[in-house]
Structure 1
Amino acid sequence: MSPYVLYAADLVAISILTFAVYLPRHRRRDLVVAYLGVNVGVLAVAGVLAQSTVGAGLGLGLFGVLSIIRLRSTELTQHEVAYYFAALALGLIGGLGVAPLAMSIGLMVLVVLVLALADSPRLMSRYRQQTMVVDRAIVDEVALVAHLERLLGCHVHQVSVQRLDLVNDTTTVTVRYESGRPAQVAAESAAWEQVTR
């Protein structure tokens, strides 16, 4: 089996992943360059390691160290980390070429397809997370959740207090919530206000 077929398949897969899946959804040009560079670099070195007597474990260990350094050098979201690992995986599958051709191409298709589906805006689009500063210092978690639900107009699933500042009267929280249910939230908030009076 010619390795060039896998190299071409890898380039097609990473192009689809970056230009058809990632860029239209997230619009970060710098990460497109990073994903392409990581993928082609891994592909090149994995291809050389596959043809040489140097142990593949050494090469993979080097890439593990390099990827950790790269991922720690800037703040990335979890989906951006997933794209990084997908770019690495595609490069390794294409470069090492240890599996049969059909299996290697099938695995590349699987990686791209899973990320395309998992990162779809239609999948769990109502679920959100954000860090916010509330203009009150709220110690009671139940009261904090009720206050956040009134502010956001949605159902709060989880609240994690990052900082409670009693001097400046603020609460910094990371909140996970589900949008799109304002009528139910309004009813629950009204019931909570009746209880606390």
Structure 2
Amino acid sequence: MISQLVLFAVDICAVVLLVFGLYFPRHRRRDLVVAYLGVNVGVLAVASALSASNAGAGLGLGLALFGVLSIIRLRSTELDQHEVAYYFSALALGILGALSTTAVWLSGGLMALILVVMFLGDHRRLLRNYRHQILVLDSAITDHVALVAHLEQLLDARVHAVTVQRLDLVNETTVVDVRYARSERLVTAEPARTGARP
């Protein structure tokens, strides 16, 4: 019982650190703060209750995972991939907090591992030169080589991948999904120009 309460406390501390220490300072979406906290505490409560009953922990974890997947699938607002990663991190923390069958140090260590991975994987210095945008060009470009050359000149960057999403020959527009890498000089100068914090 004491070990279970310790895990509950560790989970609450971990999700608070995940949400208010990592996610919100970096991305500033207030609506997802409530979602991450609710997912974590909800999974923790359901999995804990079911693990103490005859239903078993497996059923509780399966229901919790199904619920989160349904939320992500049926969402009404668009989520980026890093926001989905935070969803699953909050889910995993809640599940680890409810596993009374494992040692406290093991669950605590796995929670710490999740936080470290999210801290490093979502760090703004990691692969900061690489960008992804959807652009609408004011010309219809059918030749792939010419399209890449035009985008590299327009973005002043090296284009790694281009996918044409829509080519309108009547209105002379091209919608492209482009992944590119900016030069280190431009990336370094950008915070000073925009006033963003490093």
**What is the TM-score when the length of structure 1 is the normalising length?**
0.89
Aligned residue number for residue 6 of structure 2: 5
Deviation at 1:66, TM superposition (A): 1.4
SS at match of 1:9: helix
Aligned residue number for residue 91 of structure 1: 94
Aligned with residue 114 of structure 1, among 98, 112, 117: 117
Aligned with residue 142 of structure 1, among 142, 145, 152: 145
2: CA distance, partners of 1:50 / 1:87: 19
SS at match of 1:2: helix
The one-letter amino acid paired with 2:36 is Y
Which runs of structure 2 are paired with 1:22-61 in the superposition (5 Å)?
A: 22-61=23-62
Deviation at 1:182, TM superposition (A): 7.7
Aligned residue number for residue 160 of structure 1: 163
The one-letter amino acid paired with 1:80 is E
Distance 1:106 1:181, change over 3 A: closer
Gaps of 5+ in 2: 187-198
The one-letter amino acid paired with 1:59 is G
**What is the TM-score when the length of structure 2 is the normalising length?**
0.88
Aligned residue number for residue 176 of structure 1: 179
Tell me if the contact between 1:154 and 1:178 (Cα under 8 Å) persists in the aligned partners.
yes
Aligned residue number for residue 126 of structure 1: 129
1: CA distance, partners of 2:123 / 2:150: 31
For the pair 1:70 / 2:71, whether they are aligned, the reply is: yes
Deviation at 1:17, TM superposition (A): 0.4
Deviation at 1:181, TM superposition (A): 5.8
The one-letter amino acid paired with 1:126 is N
Which runs of structure 2 are paired with 1:100-111 in the superposition (5 Å)?
A: 100-111=103-114
2: CA distance, partners of 1:76 / 1:40: 21
Of all paired residues, the percent bearing the same amino acid is: 58
Deviation at 1:22, TM superposition (A): 0.4
Deviation string for 1:97-118 (max 9, x for gaps)?
2221111000000001100100
Tell me if the contact between 2:50 and 2:60 (Cα under 8 Å) persists in the aligned partners.
yes
1: CA distance, partners of 2:136 / 2:7: 50
1: CA distance, partners of 2:78 / 2:110: 29
2: CA distance, partners of 1:29 / 1:131: 25
Tell me if the contact between 1:155 and 1:181 (Cα under 8 Å) persists in the aligned partners.
no
Tell me if the contact between 2:51 and 2:60 (Cα under 8 Å) persists in the aligned partners.
no
Tell me if the contact between 1:97 and 1:104 (Cα under 8 Å) persists in the aligned partners.
no
Tell me if the contact between 1:154 and 1:181 (Cα under 8 Å) persists in the aligned partners.
no
